[in-house]
Amino acid sequence: MTLPPQLAELVDDFAAVTPKQRLELLLELSRELPELPERFADAAGTMEQVHECQSPLFLAVEVDDAERVHLFFSAPPESPTTRGFASIMHTGLDGEPATDVLAVPDDFYTALGLAQAVSPLRLRGMSAMLGRIKKQVRAATG
């Protein structure tokens, strides 16, 4: 599986620890999700909601002139798991070339080894996030 370097590193980090530590890692990541820039203040109006997530999650995707992808997420603090997933996406994919983002396998998240601790329905939110990111990247680069 070919992943952008930051994402590959994250997957390795998760794979190297116990299931319980994976949750701690996810919690740490959830705290690192960057604040939204002012221009996305009205999340519901300007961002796309990922309905598959069990908690409200909004995302916006921008592709710059160099065809690099920039990701923005809005998720409430009472949804740390969803924030953690968003943070994985942000850490792993923000600033990467559009072609590399489109090449990320849809099931990459299975390599994080979270299935024991996180239900399938929760994990589904992550694959849905990636799906929507790719769709927006395609629309912006197409």
Partner 1 sequence: MALQNDPDPKLAEYAHPERLVTTAWLAENLGADGLVVVESDEDVLLYETGHIPGSVKVDWHTELNDPTTRDYVDGARFAEICGERGITRDTTVVFYGDRNNWWATYALWVFSLFGHADVRMLDGGRAKWVAEGREMTTDAPKPEAVEYPVVERDDTAIRAFKDDVLTHLGKPLVDVRSPGEYSGELLHMPDYPQEGAVRGGHIPGAASVPWARAAAEDATFRSRAELAAIYEQEQGLSASDDVVAYCRIGERSSHTWFVLTHLLGFEHVRNYDGSWTEWGNAVRVPIVQGTERG
Which positions touch partner 1 (CB under 8 A)? 23-24, 26-27, 30, 52, 54-55, 77-82, 84, 116-122, 124, 127-128, 131
Nearer to partner 1, 46 or 54 (CB): 54
Q: How far is the CB of 20 from partner 1 (least distance, A)?
A: 10
Nearer to partner 1, 6 or 127 (CB): 127
Q: How far is the CB of 78 from partner 1 (least distance, A)?
A: 6
The sign of the CA dihedral 27, 125, 75, 131 is positive
Beta bridge partners of 60: 72
Tell me if residue 48 falls in helix, strand or coil.
Answer: strand
Q: How far is the CB of 97 from partner 1 (least distance, A)?
A: 26
Angle at 65 (CA atoms; ends 60, 67), nearest 5 degrees:
70
Residues contacting residue 22 through CB under 8 Å, at least 6 positions apart: 14, 112, 113, 114, 117
Q: How far is the CB of 74 from partner 1 (least distance, A)?
A: 16
User: What is the spatial distance between Cα 129 and Cα 45, in angstroms, rounded to a whole number?
Assistant: 18
Nearer to partner 1, 36 or 128 (CB): 128
